[in-house]
Amino acid sequence: MLQNGRLAVLNIDDMLVEGEKFPIVADATKIFQTAGFRYRDRIIWKKPDGYLRISRRSGVILQNPYPMYFYPDDLLESIITFQKGKFDYQSILKEVREESKIDIKEFSDNNWYMTIWEMVNVLPGSPLEKEIAAFPEELSYRIIKLFSYKGERVLDPFVGSGTTMKVAR
């Protein structure tokens, strides 16, 4: 179980299923809040411009260039964070705190402080993308680095391609 003060971090976004859009981010937020978690923040992961060429979704307007035919391609995903109770900073041993110190140069040079994180995703056609919603190692790396101390457990209840476990190791 998640210890008091710790974070649950979800990389999710709304879904389009058979032409109907479902507000997954809003639903997950409500579920976590109902379970007693505090909504802490949302970071937007922006995939590179040009990652998607015109797809079937956005291409509809090319076939029907009229109002109401527009469906945008999504280059964004949400990373939402929830906190269980309050964190006791004094509960971490000084040695562990020092070993876990965040490299401020890496933090600032890569814009980790922003609510928009730009990073390349796992590209379509990659073996990791086959029936799995794989995400880049950089995403797991940032989250683990920013929200956990050295030697702590990192749990990925969805496992998927194993990216989080690989980076945590």
- Which pLDDT tens digit goes with each residue over 28-83? 999 999 999 999 999 999 988 766 555 666 677 788 888 988 877 778 899 999 99
Q: For residue 169, name the pLDDT band (cuts at 50, 70, 90).
A: confident
User: Is 107 among the domain residues?
Assistant: yes
| Other CB atoms within 10 Å distance of the CB of residue 98 | 10
The mean pLDDT value for 18-33 works out to: 93
Enclosing domain of residue 92: 7-168
User: Is 2 among the domain residues?
Assistant: no
User: Is 1 among the domain residues?
Assistant: no
User: Is 50 among the domain residues?
Assistant: yes
User: Is 134 among the domain residues?
Assistant: yes
Q: Are 80 and 143 in contact (CB under 8 A)?
A: no
pTM to 2 decimals? 0.84
Element (H, E) at 40: strand 38-46
Handedness of CA 24, 25, 26, 32 (dihedral sign): positive
User: Is 54 among the domain residues?
Assistant: yes
Predicted local distance difference test score (pLDDT) of residue 47: 85
If DSSP codes are grouped into helix, strand and coil, which group holds residue 81? Answer: strand
CATH number, domain of 11, equals 3.40.50.150
d(CA 2, CA 9): 12
Number of domains in the chain: 1
User: Is 17 among the domain residues?
Assistant: yes
